[in-house]
Amino acid sequence: MPLMRIDMYRGRSKAEIKKILDIAYQVATEELHLLPRDRYQIVTQHDPEEMIVWDVGLGFDRTEKTLIVSLTSSPREEADKERFYARLVKELAAGAGVPPTDVLINITTNTKADWSFGNGEAQFMNGKL
């Protein structure tokens, strides 16, 4: 059930965006153990002056292919997160031509009480999920 937001520079084709979303979903499904149809993804495209992604002294030279992948998720095992990070950059490089140094990933953890999937209900809390 992670909510996945992907920020990118404007200019990719619809096919490129779909490929990025499909890769990210497939990797998250396998490495974070998602249920079928557990897919919540949002893409936001930015003009160059709207997104600054400098590295923190690691020597990365970011390109126009930079992606910021942000997940809001229930707690995950550290080993699952590490596998997700490593595999996501590998698959994005192979399938979408995104250099691994252009992928910044973060996960914000919350609890089941922090979700409503519709109708103003807390489905995890009321037993519907």
48 among known catalytic residues: no
Cα–chain center distance at 27: 10
Given 2, 36, 99, 100, which residue is catalytic?
2
The phi, psi pair for 52, rounded to 5°, reads -120, 125
Alpha helices, DSSP H, located in 2-122: 14-31, 78-96
DSSP 10: T
Encoded tokens for 41:
């993804």
CB 32 within 8 A of CB 72: no
Q: Return d(Cα 123, Cα 84) in angstroms, integer.
A: 27
Residues forming the active site: 2
